[in-house]
Structure 1
C-alpha cells in the first residue's frame, strides 16, 4: 500500500510539473493544449488518491485546472475550477496566499470570458487577500500574476 501511495504522489507531482512546462511556453499547439488539460486532470486525480493529501493540495489542483482552462480559452471551465478553489480555500481556512490565488483564478476566468466587471470584482477580492499575506515573496508572486490579467477591452 505504501508503494502505491508514493506512486500516486509521484505521478501527481510529475503531471503537475509537466503542466508548468506547457504554461511557461509562449505558444501552444492544439495538441499541446489537449495534453496539458489531460495532464492537469491526471495530476488532480492522483492527488485525490494520496491518502494524506491536504485541502491545500486540492486547492492548488483546482487553481491549476482553472489556469489551464483560461490559457486554452475555455472560460466557463476556468471559472468552474476557480470557484472550487475559492470554496476549498475558504472552507479550510487556508493561508491567504491560496485563497488569494483562488480569486486570481476567478479574475482570469472572467477576463477570458470578457466579463470585465466581474473580473475587476475578483481582482479586488484577490488584492484584499494580498494584504493578508505575510511572506513578501508569496505576496509578490500573486501580485505579478494579478498584474498579468487583462481586465478591459
Structure 2
C-alpha cells in the first residue's frame, strides 16, 4: 500500500490500454451526450471531427476506468478526490483508437486541519496509439498519511 509519505513530487507513471469501440462511443453518446457528431459519421461529416468522435466526457470515463485498473496493480491509500482543474480535450478520440495514460505528481501537502491526510495534484495526460496527447487535466486527490500501526519497518 502506498501512503502520502511514499509519494515523491515529480514521479511519473504510465499505464492503461483502452481500445475505443464504435459501439461504446455510440452507446455513451446516446445516453449522455447525444450531439450529432457523437452519434454518426454523417452527423460529424460537416464538423471539424470529420467522422464519428467520442464525447470528451466519454474520454474522461475511459480514463477513469484505466486509473481504477491501475490502482488495483499499485494500491494507494486514496481517500477520494476533490475534483479536477484545467481539463483540456486536445484532439478528438475516434473509434479504433487505443488510449493510455501518463501521470506526474506536481505537488503534495498535508492537510492543516486534518493531519491524517494529504492533498496531491497530479497532471494526467491521455495519449492515443500515435503517442498524440488527446486529453489532459490536473487531478486533486486526498491520500491517507501512514498511521503508526501502518508504518513500514525500519531498514
Q: Give the TM-score normalised by structure 2.
A: 0.26
Q: Which has the higher strand share?
A: 2
TM-score between both structures, scaled by the size of structure 1 = 0.26
> Comparing both structures, which one devotes a greater share of its residues to helix?
1
